[in-house]
């Protein structure tokens, strides 16, 4: 590869740009994970990670990507043959339900158009009809990274409660945690699944389960096979700040610094920053005369925006051109959206000028790709940034 001057624009919706201070923190020497210094680090982190989940309860940390934490949520709470209710909100919801099936669970997969979140009315309908309480868990992806559409978790919780149904609520926040308002305790979530490489501004390789008292109780009788993912030995070791196996120590150094950055800015301010960047991005998309994939404004994502390209245009070719000319990576359309959308990530360590640069690159790239876009898109975004 020839030298590319300046900084690469990593505007995929995760992994996100890792702040310099986090990179520096991770470069410290690896220590003995059974020694006293590690015990202090572990104890501090296991406590300090809780506020970003909006919980005062336990959060376990796995040396694995988000997919592992998905599996952990299922195998710790469910038994073979249990039914889970899931929603086809996009590519990741589809993969999670595929995993549930492979683990021997029955899946009620509510079809969707990949442009809406999980419908609380359908949750209410399905659970009310399930008088035998065969459904043991409702699984929802909070922010569908493939579509830029969020699901309204408090309304889904309210629907479960209104049906008087005991199902657990399992929520994937892999691309929302630390970017979009999220409250594990207040919203009555039983297991929150998260990953390191998006709003937490870390490299990939670490993932999380925040666990409610009800989920912990369910784990006592859940019979799906589990070893690596088992909360039992993990929580026992965590009590003294340790792990039952080798943790990814250097990512934990990074987590300590990333949490410091997030709490220093204030979570409310972090969420507001992303919401404002998302609004400016949508202004640009509309200014270009293109369509945002998300259809319901209550479900707009603060973390990323998926943009539909006009018929006859291959979104992947546009992305390739933008990478070649402007050294910027944008997210590809996944699954059934391949070639039809590109995704602009505006999550993680990201400011007004990062967004302005990103949107300028997209606008120029669209023009070069022969997509007849109105050049006022960027101006519309800059107005939002200037005036809000
Ligand atoms: N769920 C969502 C919403 C995601 O965005 C991703 C990855 O992008 C995953 C699950 C899978 O996580 P990982 O690739 O870290 O295993």
Rounded Cα–Cα distance for residues 36 and 161 (Å): 45
Q: What mean pLDDT is reported for the chain?
A: 97
Rounded Cα–Cα distance for residues 197 and 13 (Å): 9
What is the atom index within ligand 1 of the atom nearest the CA of 95? 10
Residue 190: name the closest of 72, 19, 24 by CA: 72
Burial label, 164 (beta-carbon count in 10 A; 0-12, 13-18, 19+): exposed
**Span 357-377, average pLDDT:** 93
**Span 273-291, average pLDDT:** 97
**Span 274-282, average pLDDT:** 98
Shared fold status for 9-16+266-387 and 20-263: no
Q: Considering only 186-200, 239-253, 333-347, 368-382, which range has the smallest mean pLDDT?
A: 368-382
Task: Write the CA distances from 326 to 5, 259, 266, 298, 330, integer angstroms.
Answer: 11, 31, 33, 33, 11
Rounded Cα–Cα distance for residues 157 and 166 (Å): 11
| pLDDT tens digits, one per residue of 297-319 | 999 999 999 999 999 999 999 99
Give the distance (Å) from ligand 1 centre to CA of residue 66.
5
Q: 20-263: what fold?
A: 3.40.640
* Most informative mutation of 195, 207, 334 for ligand 1 (most atoms within 8 A of CB): 195
Dihedral angle, C-alpha 103, 239, 267, 196, nearest 10 °: -40
Strands 59-62 and 341-345: unpaired
Alpha helix segments (H runs only) across 49-111 = 50-53, 66-77, 91-102
Residues within a 6 A CB radius of ligand 1:
14, 65-67, 92, 141, 145, 172, 174-175, 195, 204
Burial annotation 220-238 (CB, 10 A radius, 16+ → b, else e)? eebebebeebbbeebbebb
Output the pLDDT for position 373: 83
| pLDDT tens digits, one per residue of 244-256 | 999 999 999 999 9
Give the distance (Å) from ligand 1 centre to CA of residue 195.
7
Give the distance (Å) from ligand 1 centre to CA of residue 146.
10
Q: Residue 183, annotated ligand binder?
A: no
Residue 23: name the closest of 199, 195, 259, 203 by CA: 203
pLDDT over 80 (residue 163): yes
**Span 8-24, average pLDDT:** 97
Output the pLDDT for position 2: 80
| pLDDT tens digits, one per residue of 103-162 | 999 999 999 999 999 999 999 999 999 999 999 999 999 999 999 999 999 999 999 999
C-beta pairs of 311-318 under 8 Å, 24+ apart in sequence: 313/369, 313/371, 314/339, 315/339, 315/340, 315/341, 315/342, 316/342, 317/369, 318/342, 318/365, 318/366, 318/369, 318/371
Burial label, 141 (beta-carbon count in 10 A; 0-12, 13-18, 19+): buried
Res. 259 pLDDT band, cuts 50 70 90? very high
* Most informative mutation of 66, 150, 332, 335 for ligand 1 (most atoms within 8 A of CB): 66
Residue 93: name the closest of 138, 127, 155, 28 by CA: 138
Res. 3 pLDDT band, cuts 50 70 90? confident
Rounded Cα–Cα distance for residues 165 and 128 (Å): 7
| pLDDT tens digits, one per residue of 43-76 | 999 999 999 999 999 999 999 999 999 999 999 9
Phi-psi region of 327 (alpha: psi -120 to 50; beta: other; left: phi over 0): left
Task: Provide CB contacts within 8 A for 336, sequence distance 6+.
Answer: 91, 114
Rounded Cα–Cα distance for residues 176 and 155 (Å): 17
Give the distance (Å) from ligand 1 centre to CA of residue 158.
26
9-16+266-387: what CATH class? alpha beta
Per domain, the residue ranges of the chain are: 9-16+266-387, 20-263
**Span 219-246, average pLDDT:** 98
pLDDT over 80 (residue 1): no
* Most informative mutation of 61, 143, 145 for ligand 1 (most atoms within 8 A of CB): 145
Rounded Cα–Cα distance for residues 223 and 239 (Å): 24
Q: Answer whether the bond into residue 111 is a cis peptide, omega within 30°.
A: no
């Amino acid at each position: 590869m020839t030298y590319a001057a300046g900084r690469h624009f990593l505007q995929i919706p995760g992994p996100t740009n890792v702040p310099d201070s986090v990179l520096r923190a991770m470069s410290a020497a690896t220590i003995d994970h059974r020694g006293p210094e590690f015990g202090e680090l572990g104890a501090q982190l296991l406590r300090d990670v809780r506020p970003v989940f909006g919980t005062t309860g336990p959060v376990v940390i796995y040396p694995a990507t988000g997919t592992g934490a998905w599996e952990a949520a299922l195998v710790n709470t469910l038994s073979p043959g249990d039914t889970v209710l899931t929603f086809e909100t996009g590519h990741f919801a589809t993969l999670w339900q595929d995993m549930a099936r492979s683990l021997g669970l029955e899946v009620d997969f509510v079809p969707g158009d990949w442009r809406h979140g999980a419908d609380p009315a359908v949750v209410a309908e399905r659970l009310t009809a399930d008088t035998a309480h065969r459904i043991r868990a409702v699984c929802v992806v909070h922010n569908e990274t493939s579509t830029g559409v969020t699901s309204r978790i408090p309304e889904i919780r309210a629907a479960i409660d209104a049906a008087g149904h005991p199902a657990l609520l399992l929520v994937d926040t892999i691309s929302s945690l630390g970017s979009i308002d999220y409250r594990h305790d207040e919203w009555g979530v039983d297991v929150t699944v998260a990953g390191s490489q998006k709003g937490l501004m870390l490299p990939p390789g670490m993932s999380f389960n925040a666990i409610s008292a009800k989920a912990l109780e369910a784990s006592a009788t859940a019979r799906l096979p589990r070893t690596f993912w088992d909360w039992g030995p993990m929580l026992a070791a965590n009590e003294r700040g340790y792990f039952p196996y080798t943790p990814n120590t250097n990512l934990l150094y990074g987590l300590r610094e990333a949490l410091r950055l997030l709490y220093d800015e204030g979570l409310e301010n972090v969420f507001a920053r992303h919401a404002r960047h998302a609004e400016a991005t949508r202004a640009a998309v509309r200014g270009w005369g293109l369509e945002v994939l998300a259809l319901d404004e209550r479900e707009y994502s603060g973390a990323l925006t998926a943009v539909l390209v006009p018929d006859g245009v291959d979104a992947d070719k546009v992305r390739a051109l933008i990478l070649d000319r402007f050294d910027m990576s944008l997210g590809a359309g996944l699954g059934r959206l391949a070639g039809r959308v590109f995704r602009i990530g505006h999550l993680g360590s990201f400011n007004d000028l990062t967004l302005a640069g990103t949107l300028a690159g997209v606008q120029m790239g669209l023009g070069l790709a022969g997509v007849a876009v109105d050049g006022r898109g960027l101006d519309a975004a800059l107005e939002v940034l200037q005036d809000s």
